[in-house]
Amino acid sequence: MKFRSLGVALAMTAGLLAVPAAVSPAAAAEVLLSQGKTATASSIENGAMQAAYAVDGDLGTRWSSAASDPQWLQVDLGAKADISKVALRWEAAYGKDYKIQVSDDANAWTDLRTVTNGDGGLDELTVDGEGRYVRVHGTARGTGWGYSLWEFQVFGEEPGGPQQPCGTANAAQGKPATASSVENAGYPAGNAFDGDTGTRWSSAASDPQWVRVDLGESKNICRVSLNWEGAYGKDFKIQASADGNTWTDLKTVTGGTGGQASYDVSGQGRYLRVHGTARGTGYGYSLWEVTVNTTGGGVVGGGDLGPNVIVVDPSTPNLQQKFDQVFDQQEDAQFGQGRYQFLLKPGTYNNINAQIGFYTSISGLGLNPGDTTINGDITVDAGWFNGNATQNFWRSAENIRVNPVNGTNRWAVSQAAPFRRMHIQGGLNLAPSGYGWASGGYIADSKVDGVVGPYSQQQWYTRDSQIGGWLNGVWNMVFSGVEGAPGNSFPEPPYTTLNTTPISREKPFLYLDGNEYRVFVPSKRDNARGVSWPNTPGSSLPLTDFYVVKPGATAQTINAALAQGLNLLFTPGIYHVNETINVTRPNTVVLGLGLATVIPDNGVTALKVADVDGVRLAGFLIDAGTTNSNTLLEVGPTNASADHAANPTTVQDVFVRIGGEHAGKATTSVVVNSDDVIVDHTWVWRADHGEGVGWETNRADYGVVVNGDDVLATGLFVEHFNKYDTIWNGERGRTIFYQNEKAYDAPNQAAIQNGDIKGYAAYKVADHVDQHEAWGLGSYCNYTSDPNIRQGHGFQTPVKPGIKFHHVIVVSLGGMGQYDHVINDVGAPTSGTSTIPSQIVSYP
């Protein structure tokens, strides 16, 4: 985190700023139990505000009651469960006084939590109780209207303990089937369960209609997939029964659009039926196939994208409202638990301003940016922080063309906010309105037709892109493979420009092929320049090749999926893992949506990659747990030695955090042992603000340690570690752009003393290394606990012919500590409070 003006001295520090209170992390066994379950209410305002809408996972639908007291909403979890948390997302008509209650029979209720003088918004309540039914019982409204909830979520331990993995076998195939009707003899019920997508069941053209299958014995049903013919069901229920007479709802769908859909469910029964209540066309109901999966048969690939992925198209009603609802929640939720991904189907979206807050990503679903066009804006500003953009972290925009309303789009971000595969048909402003402080940032594979104006941005890295011009530079602006980039002119202006990027490979991304989700995996480019699109070389993988990981998934299931040969697609959410996620297969893709966050429990390493070719890690956050982990991410085992030059592993938009949301700890955050790895944009951050922050509280000695040979880092941000931020032990390493701050909270000089050296270097090349090269590096000190601390140098390296540094700076931020030198004992010391960098053009 930084506080900057255009070269003006600082007047404040992190320790003086108010930050949002952290939310306690969910326990490892905590699972969302209520979504899709049966809900009832004391009343509804009208037919468009049903009880079921409060448990459907859609922030665009809601339950609303009559305008009187008392009122209640209850959900049937289907079985008795241990309940640990309840979250209520109120609409403007909120409950001021209410109780959270639990019951075994929906008659006798026990109070778990009483709330008085609530103020609406999001209420996350820790509770402790058991029951099948959970309700919110309102006794006093906060407005003259009724009670209105966008979402009512109940969390806890799954009934009967954690579920076994959902199997891959179709338990319904070939089993006896019946239906309420058939269109004619050519479309019998059995056609929907014969495993043949060329045959179908079709009903009479009236409502309601149903088709059911006898599984032969009671099964634990975990997923039901429907493949609709053109005559689809708009409103329907998926139900289970023990005897074929009494039915339990597993899933209620309203406003369905047909095609293929997969629903994760939880329930038992011998009989499964699809019960339609409203047709989507003037014809009957027609299903090519119904697939039923049960527990115990392996991990299923594919399926839906989970509750926090919001898929829209240009005809989506109230689209601006959907963007606004998420932004209102996420604008200042710096250490909150919300995670969201907007996916925009190809088409043209008019008059949209998508404001992007914390842990929110927006992406187009076309193969090229131009397939998805916004005539409007994708905006990041800093109104939540009084015009200061230095904490606008953890968000992203990808694969969209934007025609800005006023000709210029604003993207005022700092670290961990990638801007990839974008086409701005106008200018791009990287500063907040008012041009306050900003500390970013990263652009790749993007085209900006107009001028990019960084204004107050102290540093920025742009890779393999095309721009119409670049306005200015503060301290450190780096370009590689950028058409239209300014020429090399460091230090005045501070531009570092490489004509090409030596090796690059763009990040994998989700897209739509017709109605089918697929993941495109771009190929490696050597000496790249300009954007990779259209016609990006690469390969395409069906979603069925991925385990779609959803909140509540365990490390055991994730590893079972990997062992089964599946890739991983983490949907937005927070994932506690009590064992290491092990990636052992070449070319495995691990892709996150909406800043999906992995938290290692019990001191384990969150993720390890074997010494294999072509693994792609992309788009997720690792947040250190409260028990110290020796490492958080390991790419390759110790002493890895295989040659991966033809097909390297890539680590892209993988961010690491120690502290901030809680008191995390890790000895070393990221270790790269394999050769030829490409680290393309990472922010490895020991928190300097938030919860659980202190010199020993969120202890983390080392940020990034590179042991592999021929490793390339493009866009390396590493900050605030107790000792070395980056150590490079491998040969022929290269870094293009490096940004660092030393730890703010070092208590005194003795705490950072490194033998005879004052302080640990931000970037150290080991003494035994013979070849290394780096371009565009900066280290800043802001020793807020003791401004008298001196840092001997920012960078440390052996002096050898094969080692070269280009364009390096150190900066004292407002005189809060000083550097004696830039590299080793070379470079002028910083001094005073003027926040003026000391610079070296080349070393040695």
Q: Which residues are catalytic?
A: 741
Q: Which of 400, 349, 396 is nearest to 376 (CA)?
A: 349
Q: How far apart are CA 696 and CA 677, in angstroms?
A: 32
Q: How far apart are CA 833 and CA 440, in angstroms?
A: 22
CB neighbours (10 Å) of residue 570? 28
Q: Are 407 and 453 in contact (CB under 8 A)?
A: no
Q: How far apart are CA 755 and CA 759, in angstroms?
A: 9
Q: How far is CA 612 from each of CA 568, 580, 709, 714, 806, rounded to the nearest angstrom?
A: 17, 17, 15, 21, 32
CB neighbours (10 Å) of residue 185? 6
Q: Are 101 and 110 in contact (CB under 8 A)?
A: yes
Q: Which residue has the tokens 């801007």?
A: 419
Q: Number of helices and strands (H, E) in the chain?
A: 3, 60
Could you tell me the two tokens for 653?
Answer: 């938009």
CB neighbours (10 Å) of residue 405? 16
Q: How far apart are CA 839 and CA 494, in angstroms?
A: 10
Torsion of CA 569, 572, 576, 577, to 10 degrees: 10
Sequence-ordered list of residues with C-beta below 8 angstroms from that of 698, at least 6 positions apart, any chain: 624, 658, 659, 660, 663, 664, 665, 686, 687, 692
Q: For 727, what's the count of Cα atoms within 13 Å in the CB-facing half-sphere?
A: 18
**Could you tell me if residue 759 is left (phi over 0), alpha (psi between -120 and 50 degrees) or otherwise beta?**
left
Q: How far apart are CA 87 and CA 490, in angstroms?
A: 52
Q: Are 673 and 640 in contact (CB under 8 A)?
A: yes
Q: Which residue has the tokens 């680290």?
A: 679
Q: Which of 223, 226, 180, 218 is nearest to 202 (CA)?
A: 180
**Could you tell me if residue 32 is left (phi over 0), alpha (psi between -120 and 50 degrees) or otherwise beta?**
beta
Q: Are 56 and 36 in contact (CB under 8 A)?
A: yes
Q: Which residues pair with 249 in a beta bridge?
A: 239
CB neighbours (10 Å) of residue 199? 16
Q: Which one-letter amino acid corresponds to residue 691?
A: E
Q: Which of 633, 590, 625 is nearest to 608 (CA)?
A: 633
Q: Which of 617, 671, 675, 672 is nearest to 646 (CA)?
A: 675
E-state strands within 304-365: 309-312, 340-344, 347-355, 360-364
Residue 171: what are its φ and ψ, rounded to 5°?
-70, -15
